[in-house]
Amino acid sequence: MAKQPVDYEALLSSIEASFPMVQILDKDGNVVNKDIMPDLSDDELVELMTRMVWSRVLHERSMALARQGRLGFYAPTMGQEASQLASHFAFKKQDWLYPGYRDIPQLIQHGLSVPKAFLWSRGHVEGNNYPEDLHAMAPQIIIGAQYIQAMGNAVGQKFAGKEDEVTFTYTGDGGSSQGDVYEGMNFAGRYKAPIVFYIQNNGYAISTPRHKQSAANTLAQKAAAAGIPGVQVDGMDPLAVYAVSKQAREWAAAGNGPVLIETITSRFGPHSTSGDDPTRYREQESFDYWAQRDPLVRFRNYLKEKGLWNDEKEEELIEKTKEEIKQAAKEADQAPKMKVSEFLKNMHGEPGQNIIEQIEKYEAKESK
């Protein structure tokens, strides 16, 4: 019998071997890979922890506000603090963020006010009306669309000759199955555009587990189809997420093209506040396993060990954050009532006959 032209098994295992997971802190906060330890000052380490705790409080308060009917759509973030906040920490103010609908913490850290974030959740246009200097798009609901748009944004930065300015965007494990996610990465590779793509793999797309999305062993390896570097990182490890993000940003900003980063993470709660119950599709073991890998626990241990953090400091921070969020919710209540005539005016710069007629009609109605 003739020899098979290709050894498929060898091929598959060679692909897997090319995408190892990057980790710096283990689940207890011990340093397991000091060679790649990022160069962060004590102040920066504390700032990163501060943001992660802030995000956890924002999550808890958002859940409570949603239950009270004071928020609308909210996609929980608890568990993804390292993946979201430590990745964002590697980017600069001038960089452009194209977030998915779960990426509110990054948006706020990039400059969106909390009241505006709450208005987005409630369904108020002011939540999407961003100040000029905020380099970000509103959260994207169409899963994958942010990938192709962010790609176009990065191509634009390149064509405009902008230096030290990149784009970064996020999707989830389910999103990695979308055509736009592949197209975004592939175009970005073709144009060598300065962009970092994130797949936050939290194991579930609503109720569909990761293994039902793809036979690929990692999602990072999807980068190979675009001919760009792909990295898998422990998404519960803030230092590893930060380290690979910083490297990716530098690589992109230097004109080398895009990078894909898969963060292995977990959401501790439901998919959204729109009434899904994660215990229907997730075993208790899964919650237990990930609870032991809480990014806050391991980073807290690491910082306490270095004498940079204590419980008192954290309590103070939590109280301060709760108060700020309370004020933000109140401020959001002050937003002006929306008007149909305003929306009609925001359809086109130069409206057609249909819009002009309808503005008249609605303005008459609204003045009554």
Catalytic residues: 267, 271, 281
How is the beta sheet containing 167-172 ordered, strand by strand?
21-22, 230-234, 259-264, 195-201, 167-172, 96-98
Q: Which is nearer to another protein, 69 or 349 (CB)?
A: 349
Q: How far is the CB of 333 from another protein (least distance, A)?
A: 18
86 binds another protein (CB under 8 A): no
Site string for another protein, 182-201 (x = CB under 8 A): -xx-xx--x-----------
Q: Is the Cβ of residue 48 or residue 137 nearer to another protein in the bound state?
A: 137
Q: Count residues near another protein (CB under 8 A).
A: 44
The single residue among 46, 125, 318, 335 that binds another protein, judged by CB under 8 A, is 125
Task: Please identify which residue in 275, 288, 349, 367 interacts with another protein, judged by CB under 8 A.
Answer: 349
Q: What angle do CA 314, 267, 184 make, to 5 degrees?
A: 115
The CA distance from 345 to 53, in Å, is 41
Contact letters (x/-) for another protein, 159-178, by CB under 8 A? xx------x-----------
Distance in Å, CB of 198 to another protein, minimum: 17
In the block, residue with structure tokens 């439901």: 270
* 232 closest CA partner among 246, 217, 215: 217
Are 82 and 295 within 8 A, CB to CB? yes
Could you tell me the two tokens for 350? 């130069």
- Pick the binder of another protein from 180, 234, 237, 294 (CB under 8 A): 180
User: Applying CB under 8 A, does 137 fall inside the site for another protein?
Assistant: yes
289 interacts with another protein by CB under 8 A: no
Q: Pick from 297, 317, 355, 363: which binds another protein (CB under 8 A)? A: 355
The pair of three-digit structure tokens given for residue 156, joined into one six-digit string: 């634009």
With CB under 8 A as the contact rule, the residue among 66, 97, 107, 145 that binds another protein is: 145
Of 4, 348, 367, 368, the one binding another protein by CB under 8 A: 348
Q: Write down the least CB distance from residue 329 to another protein, Å.
A: 21
Output the CA angle 194-197-198, nearest 5 degrees.
150
Q: Between residues 98 and 204, which has the closer beta carbon with respect to another protein?
A: 98
334 contacts another protein (rule: CB under 8 A): no
Q: Tokens 């608890």 correspond to what residue?
A: 78
Q: Coil, strand, or helix at residue 259?
A: strand
Cα separation, 102 vs 205, whole angstroms: 12
Contact 272, 75 (CB under 8 A): yes
Indicate if the alpha-carbon torsion angle 165, 171, 129, 127 is positive or negative.
negative
Q: What are phi and psi of 168, to 5 degrees?
A: -135, 145
Question: Can you read off the two tokens belonging to residue 119?
Answer: 């208005």
Contacts to another protein by CB under 8 A: 96, 125-126, 128-130, 137-138, 142, 145, 147-157, 159-160, 167, 179-180, 183-184, 186-187, 190, 342-343, 345-355
